[in-house]
Structure 1
Amino acid sequence: MEFCKRLSKSLDLLGYSQEMINFRREKNKQMDDIQNKVYPIPVITSGGKAEGTALYFESDIDRLYFVGGIKCVESGSPCSSPTVFHLDKYNCSPGYARLKLGHENHSFVQNHLKLENGYVKNHLYDVFNNQMVDINGFRITNQGKIGPAERYGNDYINYDFVIGLVCICPDLIEKWVKRERKHGWPDPYLIKQISSLEGHAVAVSNKDSSYPQTEWRICYTKAEIMLVHSFTESQTKLYLLLKLMAKSVLIPLCPAMTSYIMKNIIFWEIETNPALGFSQSSLIDRLIDAILFLKQALESGYLESYMIAERNLFQGRITENERQTLLKKLDELLNERENMFKHCNKIHESMSKLHESPDKYSNDAEKRDCIEKLVLKKNVIFKMSEKIVRPDEPAIQDRLKQNEEYMQCVDELYKLVIPDKKELLKSGLNLEEVYTRRLSKILS
C-alpha cells in the first residue's frame, strides 16, 4: 500500500495530477471550440492531448478534421446531406467498409478524393500544405503518412492530421450499446450520450484487406474521449502506468504496442471488473491484471476493439517473432511486480527523486506545471487571434505583440525557462534555440 501511494504521488509530480489532466482537457477543448467557430472544416483534438494524459511535447498532437456536408450511411438509409456515400461492408474486415458514391455535390470530393469503380479511394490528395507554421511559430514539414494520418513535425513536435468523413452506422453502435455489462461502467447516462454520437470513416484499410485501395476504417473518436474522461483518478493512473510501461518496454520490441492498444485494454478491464477494485492502494494489482490481459490477448492473437468488438486490433500488425518476444518480456514484468518500474526511466527516476529530495522535487514539479499552463494559455490566445477578419489587418505575430495577456505569458515563460538569459547572451548562444530546446525537454 505504501509503495502504491508513492507510485501515485510520483505520477502527480511527473505532470499527471488530476489538476493538470483537467487543465489540458479544458484548454485543448477551448482551442477546438474557437477553431470550429471560424473555420469551415471542424476539428477534434484526440489522443493524449484530448485525454489530458500527455505533457505538451511528450507525444504527437492528434487532430481529426471532418468535412461538413459529407455523410457515410448504410445503403437505403435516408440522408439529406449534399454528398452521400453508402457503406458497403461486403467482404470487408470487421469495423471497415468501402464507400460507394450515392450522390455528390461538394468541392472537397472533387478536389481531394478519387473514385475507383464508384468507390472512394483511401488516399486523400493535396489536403495539407507541405510546409506549415504551427501554433508556437515553429515550422513543421510533411513527414509522410502513418496509417490514416499525415504527419507534420520538426525536431521538437509532431502533428498527426487525419481527415474523417462523418459515418452513421447504427448497427455497430447498437451492438456496443446492447452489450451485457455486469459492473455498471459505462453508466446508463454515458451509454445514452455515446449512442447519439456519429463515427468517422478514416482513409486506411485493414492490413489483410481484399480492397487495400478502397477500404476505410470506421472509428469512434468522440466516444473514446468521453470514455477516458469518465475514468476515476485511480483508473486514469492505471492507464498512465500501462502507457508509460508500454512506451519504455514494449514499443521498442514491437511498434504495434501503441497507446491505443493500451487504452482498449483499460476499457475492457474497467468494464469487466467491479469499480471498488480500482483504488490508489490497488494500482500494482490492477496493473498486473492489465498486463495479464495483454498477455492472454497475445497468446490468442486476438484483441477485441472496445467499440467494435468484432475487430481484431492485432490483425496483421504483429509478427510471430514479435509475439514471442513480447510474451517473454511480459512474463519478466509479471515476475518482477513492483520492480518492473526499473525498466521505465521516467517512473523510476521520479520515485527516486521523491525518496531522496521530496521538497526540491515538488518545487521543480510545480514549476513545470506552471510552464505548461502558460504554454496552453498562450496557445488559446493565439487561436483566438488567428482568424484574419479583414485583408488589411496586420500579421498575427504583430497583432499578438499588442496583446497584453499574450505578451505576459511569453515574458513569464522566458523567465522560467531561461532565468540565465544574461549569461546566455554573453556566451553568444541563440536565445530562441536554447529556449525551444529547454521547453521541449521540460514538457516531454
Structure 2
Amino acid sequence: MDSPSITPQIETGIQHMSESMFVGLCPIVGTSQQVAMRRDVIDIMEMVTNKARTSNQNTVMMSGSRREGFRMKGSDVDFMYWFNNQPVIWDLSQTQFYNVHRQFLILSVSSESPPGFTLLQLLTPRAGNRVTSALVTMNGGRYISSYKYREITCSDINPNSTVHGPCGSGVLRGVVEYDDAHCFVCDFWPPSASSWIARCHIWPQPQVVRDIVRSGCHFVAIGHKLGNHESNEWRISFSLAEQKLVYSMNHCQFLTYGLLKLFLKEVINNGLGDNEKLLCSYHMKTAVFWMIQQNTIPNWCSQNLLKCFWYCFKLILKWVYEGVCPNFFIPENNMFLSNIHGGAQNRLFVRLFGFYEKGLASLLHSPSLRSYIINVLYNPRLSICTDEQTLVSEIEFDTKMFEEIYGVNSIPASDLYFIIKHLNTVEQFIVSPLTQYQVLMLQVLTASFLHRAAFTLQNMYSNTTENKLMYIADRMSCHMLKLTTKFGCISDRLYIAMYYYKTLRYTEALSVIEMTKVDLAQPYVMYNWTVDTERYTEAVGGQSWSTKLRHAVAWGIKLDNRIIYINELMTEQMVSLQNHLPTLFIPPLVVLHMLEFLCYRHTDTMRAQTALNDLQVLVHHDQGLYVSVELRDISWQILGICQQISGNLRSALYSYQQSLRQYPFHKIQSATLMRIHELG
C-alpha cells in the first residue's frame, strides 16, 4: 500500500483548526511552562531520593508518561528499581571498570535472542538472594531467569501487586494505577543500538546524544513471546533514553505526542476489549520519534499541529498495513511481531483506515477535543490566541504547581539517621544550579524532613530517665519545628502545635493554634487546590512562590505511620501501616480543631466543647471545600475519637459508623471497629 497523502479537504483550514487544537490541548496536556515545572519537580525529588540512599538500597527512577510531563486523566505511575552493585556488561573487557569483590557482574548474551532481547549470565560466584533464587543453568552457565525474578520481586514495593508484563502492578489507595519494574542497569550503550547514534544527524542535538549514550540502558524482566528462551530472556529498556528524547522535544512535538495518546485512548481503542487493544501509547511515542528524526515535517509549530498529528497517524497506518513497527533504537526489533499479524492485523488496519477516510473529522469522536473542532467549524473567522501566558492564569499555574509539589513529596522516614541524611542531601543541592521550581521543591522537602526529624527524636527520648538527654532532644526538636515556619506552608505550623500537645505544653500549643487559625481564616488562603482567585491575586499576586507558600497556602497534614505524632491516633496509624499504607492525610482544619479540643480539655472545658462543636460542624456540613471526599474516613474517625473522649458515646458511635461508610482511603476500618467495640 502506498503511504496515504493528506487530502485537499484536510489542508483547508488546517492552520486555523491547529491553533484551536493547540489552545484545547494545553489545559489537557499542559503549557510548556507547566510541563517544565512537572519535570523539574520530579527530577529534583528523584535526585534527593537516590543520593541519600545507601548501597544496599534500590535506585529508583520514575518512567512513563508522568515522568515525561503528562498529567492526563487515567495516566498510571511507572517506576523502575535496580541495584547499582549488580551491573550488566556487554563483553568481558568491560570487567576492568568494576570491583569484582564488591559488585556482582552480569554478562549480556544476546546471540540466541531476537533483536532487543538478551540473556543475562551471572559471572561472579555469588550474588544477592533475589538473583540467586532466580538462577537457572543453561549451556553450562548460570543465567538469571526473567520469569523467576519477576515473580520474586513483584510485591517488593507494594505487597498487593500482581504480575503484569515485566512489572508488579496494582492500584494505590484505589485511585492511581502503578507499574513497578525491578530491573538491571548497564552503564554502556548496547552494541545492537549503535546504528541509532549514526542516524542522529538532525535530531536529537549532539549533546543529547552524548548524554543518552553515557547513560547506558536497563534490562526489564520479560522475554520475547516468539523467542527460544522466553522465560529466561530480558528486554533491553531505553526508558531513560526515551525520557531524555521527550525532554528535548519542542512543545508542538510534545502536544502532538499527547494528541496521539488521546486519539488512541478516546477513539482508536474506544469500545474495544482489553485483548483487542493492540496499539499502545509506546507505539505513538515511537511514531513521533521517527517522524521528528526523519525531518518529514520541517516546522513543528502550533499552526502545523494537526498536520504533524496527521503525518504521525499515517506512519502508524503504514506500519499496521506492513505489519512492521521498528523500535526507534533497534529497528530490527519489530514491535508488532508478537501480536499484530494475521486476522488481528487486518481488523486493526480496517479500523484505522476508517478513521483515515474520515480525515480530521475522526477527531470529533474524542470527547476531550470535539468542542475545539466544532468551535472552528462554526466560527471560521474566530481569532485564536496561542500565547501560553493567556491560556493559564497565575492562580491556575500556582494551584497546579503546589499540587504537584505536595503530590510527589513522599520520601519515607525509617529512622533519624535516614532523615538527617536527606536533610544533608538537600543542603548539598542548594548550592547546585537549580530551576525556580526545584528550589521550591527543596523548600517543601526541608520542612517535611524537619518535622519528621523532630518527632522521631522526641519518640526516641520520650521514655529516657536521662533528663539531660531529654532536655537536649526537646530543644533540638523545638528548634527544628520552628524552622519549618521559615520553609513550609501555613498548615505546617500545626506540627508545632502537635509537638507541644504531645509534650503536655497545652498553653504553648493553644498559642500556636490561635495564630494559625487567624492565618487560615484569611479569604485568600489556598486550601489544597481550592482558592478564591480574586482574593489570592490581590494578596500575593506577583510575589515569589516562596512568599505565597508561607503566607497563602494550606495543604493536608501528612503523618508518617511509623512516627507517633499524637497518641490518640496511634491505633489508626498502626492499622493503616498494617494495610501497607505509609501515611495518614488529614485536612488541616480537622487537625486544628482536634488539637484545640484536646488542649482545652486540660485547661478550659467550655472552650473544649466549643472546639468540638466547630469540628462537628466542619465534618458534618463541609461540601468538599476543606474536607475532600478521600479524607472523609479519617475526618469522621477523628470526630468520633474526640466525641468519645468527651463522653458523648452516642455521637461517637454515629461518627464511627459514618467513617465506615466513606471511601476507605486510609484502610482504617478495623481501627474503627475496635473503637466501636470499646463503646460497649
- Fold conserved between structures, TM > 0.5: yes
Is the contact between residue 375 and residue 409 of structure 1 (CA under 8 Å) also seen in structure 2? no
**Structure 2 residues without counterparts, runs of 5 or longer:** 1-14, 419-452, 460-476, 493-519, 533-588, 590-616, 633-661, 666-680
- Contact 1:266–1:290 under 8 Å retained in 2: yes
Kindly state the Cα deviation for residue 321 of structure 1 after the two structures are TM-superposed.
Answer: 3.7
Is residue 257 from structure 1 mapped to residue 251 from structure 2 by the alignment?
no
Cα deviations across residues 138-193 of structure 1 (Å, max 9, x unaligned)?
Answer: xxx63411211111314310121111211235412322112374xx1122222222
Q: Which runs of structure 2 are paired with 1:99-114 in the superposition (5 Å)? A: 99-110=120-131, 113-114=134-135
**1:197 counterpart (196, 199, 215):** 215
Query: Counterpart in 1 of 2:416?
Result: 389
For residue 243 of structure 2, what is the aligned residue in structure 1?
Answer: 225
Contact 2:400 2:529 in 1 (8 A): no
Provide the rounded CA distance (Å) in 2 between the counterparts of 1:195 and 1:390.
Answer: 36
Aligned positions of 1:403-418 closer than 5 A: 403-404=484-485, 408=490, 414=527, 416-417=529-530
- Closer, same or farther: CA 434–329 of 1 in aligned 2, 3 Å: same
2:456 and 2:306 map into 1 onto residues whose CA distance is 52
Deviates more, 1:68-77 or 1:196-205: 68-77
Unaligned runs of 5+ in 1: 133-140
**Preserved contact between residue 250 and residue 326 of structure 1 (Cα < 8 Å):** no
- 1:84–1:104 CA contact under 8 A, matched in 2: no
Name the counterpart of 1:65: 81
After superposition, what is the alpha-carbon deviation per residue over 1:393-441, rounded to whole angstroms, capped at 9, x for unaligned?
6369x9999855555489866464499x978732799944356999x9x
* Corresponding position of 1:337: 359
Query: Which segment drifts farther, 82-91 or 99-108?
Result: 99-108
For the residues of structure 2 that align with 1:363 and 1:292, how far apart are their CA atoms? 30
Pick one of 94, 98, 112 that aligns with 2:119. Answer: 98
Residue 372 of structure 1 corresponds to 400
1:120 aligned partner: 144
Task: Output the CA distance in 2 between the equivalents of 1:212 and 1:131.
Answer: 25
Contact 1:163 1:203 in 2 (8 A): yes
Aligned to 2:171: 153
Could you say what the CA RMSD is over the residues aligned between the two structures, in angstroms?
A: 3.7
Partner SS state of residue 264, structure 2: helix
Equivalents in 1 of 2:529, 2:208: separation in Å?
A: 41
Q: 1:237 to 1:205 in 2, by over 3 A?
A: same
Structure 2 match to 1:42: 59
Distance 1:213 1:148 in 2: 11
Whether 1:240 aligns to 2:258 is: yes
Structure 1 position 43, deviation (Å): 1.4
> Could you tell me which of 193, 209, 212 is aligned with 1:173?
193
Letter in 2 for 1:127: T
Moved more, 35-44 or 122-131: 122-131
CA 1:368–1:179: 2 relative to 1, 3 Å: same
Opposite residue 17 of structure 2, the aligned amino acid is: F
The Cα shift of 1:4 comes to 0.8
Return closer, same or farther for 1:369/1:435 CA change in 2, 3 Å cut-off: farther
* CA distance in structure 2 between the aligned counterparts of 1:29 and 1:163, rounded to whole angstroms: 20
CA displacement 1:277-336 (0-9 Å, x = unmatched): 322111222211111111111111110000111111112123534322322222222222
What is the Cα deviation at residue 70 of structure 1?
1.0
Change (3 A) 1:223 1:102: same
Deviation at 1:271, TM superposition (A): 0.7
Q: CA, structure 1 residues 266+401, in 2 after alignment: closer, same or farther (shift >3 Å)? A: farther
C-alpha displacement of 1:259: 1.2
Check whether the contact 1:96–1:218 (CA below 8 A) recurs between aligned residues. yes
- Give the alignment's TM-score, normalised by structure 2: 0.56
* Structure holding more strand per residue: 1
Residue 107 of structure 2 is aligned to residue 86 of structure 1: yes
**1:52 Cα deviation after fit:** 0.5
Alignment partner, residue 629 of structure 2: 433
Q: Which residue, 346, 356, 360 being the options, matches 2:368?
A: 346
CA contact (8 A) 1:239 1:266 kept: yes
Q: CA deviation at 1:345?
A: 1.2
Which residue matches 2:224?
206
Matched residue type, 1:76: L
**Contact between 1:186 and 1:227, CA under 8 Å: does it hold in 2?**
yes
Q: Which residue of 2 aligns with 1:137?
A: none
* Letter aligned with residue 166 of structure 1: V
Judging changes above 3 Å, is the alpha-carbon distance between structure 1 residues 431 and 230 closer, same or farther for their aligned structure 2 residues?
same
Supply the distance in 2 between the matched residues of 1:308 and 1:259 (Cα, whole angstroms): 18
Q: Could you say which structure has the larger radius of gyration?
A: 2
TM-score by length of 1: 0.83
Residues 302-317 of structure 1 mapped to structure 2, 5 A cutoff:
302-317=324-339
More helix by share: 2
User: Cα 1:228–1:197, aligned 2, differ >3 Å: closer, same or farther?
Assistant: same
Q: Which has the higher contact order (CA 8 A, sep 6+)?
A: 1
Deviations 1:107-149 (A, max 9, x none): 25456633343111103254365785xxxxxxxx634112111
Structure 1: distance between partners of 2:373 and 2:456: 46
Question: Which residue number corresponds to residue 267 of structure 1?
Answer: 289
Distance 1:316 1:264 in 2: 17
In the alignment, residue 164 of structure 1 is paired with which amino acid? C
The counterpart of 2:316, out of the listed 270, 279, 294, is 294
Amino acid at match of 1:187: Q
Using the TM superposition, give the Cα deviation of residue 353 of structure 1 relative to its aligned residue in structure 2, in angstroms. 8.5
8 Å Cα contact 2:154-2:161 kept in structure 1: no
Q: Which residue of 2 aligns with 1:135?
A: none
Partner SS, residue 75 of structure 2? coil
Question: Which residue type is aligned with residue 394 of structure 1?
Answer: F
* SS at structure 2 position matched to 1:142: coil
The amino acid across from 2:62 in the alignment is T
Q: Is the 8 A contact 1:256 1:318 kept in 2?
A: yes
Describe the superposition over 1:242-273 as per-residue Cα deviations: whole angstroms up to 9, x where unpaired: 11101112234443311111101100011112
CA contact (8 A) 1:401 1:407 kept: no
Report SS of the residue matched to 2:183: strand
Change (3 A) 1:166 1:337: same
Over 3 Å counting, the alpha-carbon distance change for 1:349 and 1:92 in structure 2 is same
Using the TM superposition, give the Cα deviation of residue 21 of structure 1 relative to its aligned residue in structure 2, in angstroms. 0.9
Cα distance in structure 2, aligned partners of 1:127 and 1:234? 39
Tell me, yes or no, if the aligned pair for 2:403 and 2:528 is still in contact at 8 Å.
Answer: no
Partner Cα distance (2:78, 2:623) in 1: 37
Q: Rate the CA distance shift 1:434–1:35 in 2: closer, same or farther, 3 A.
A: closer
Q: Judging changes above 3 Å, is the alpha-carbon distance between structure 1 residues 158 and 204 closer, same or farther for their aligned structure 2 residues?
A: same
Count of aligned residue pairs for this structure pair: 422
